[in-house]
Amino acid sequence: MKQNKWGLSLTDPHECIKAHSLGTLDATNLVVRGWIGSAHIDSLPFGNIALAGVETHLGALDLVNGGALGYLLNPWATVLTNQTSKYGAYCHTIAGC
């Protein structure tokens, strides 16, 4: 079976990956090009827009994704707050999401 440089098969549209911060840009591009079926991304850098097939999580106080302003560009994203995140509303942490 053919694989791309990430080790994902190029023929399985049901494959899903999880990405964080700058890796979210690669994950989004893989979905858009049809190389994978979907992606789960955390802390998409501010100014970027996630497309269909990409489950997006933004930290309400995360400066990388623009905090609550990131929601303006990605209104379908899930914004993580103190109540919904064990990371204290920060999606961008040293340990990742």
Q: What is the pTM of this model?
A: 0.70
Q: Which residues form the domain of 82?
A: 1-97
The pLDDT score that the predictor gives to residue 46 is 92
Question: Is the pLDDT confidence value at 94 over 50?
Answer: no
DSSP symbols for 3-67: B-TTS-BSS-TT-EEEEETTHHHHHHHHHHTTSSSEEEEESPPTT----TTEEEEEETT-TTTTG
The arithmetic mean of pLDDT across residues 62-91, rounded, is: 74
Contact status, residue 90 vs residue 59, Cβ threshold 8 Å: yes
Q: Tokens at residue 50, please?
A: 């996630």
Upper half-sphere CA count for residue 60 (Cβ side, 13 Å): 11
Q: How many domains does the chain have?
A: 1
The arithmetic mean of pLDDT across residues 24-38, rounded, is: 85
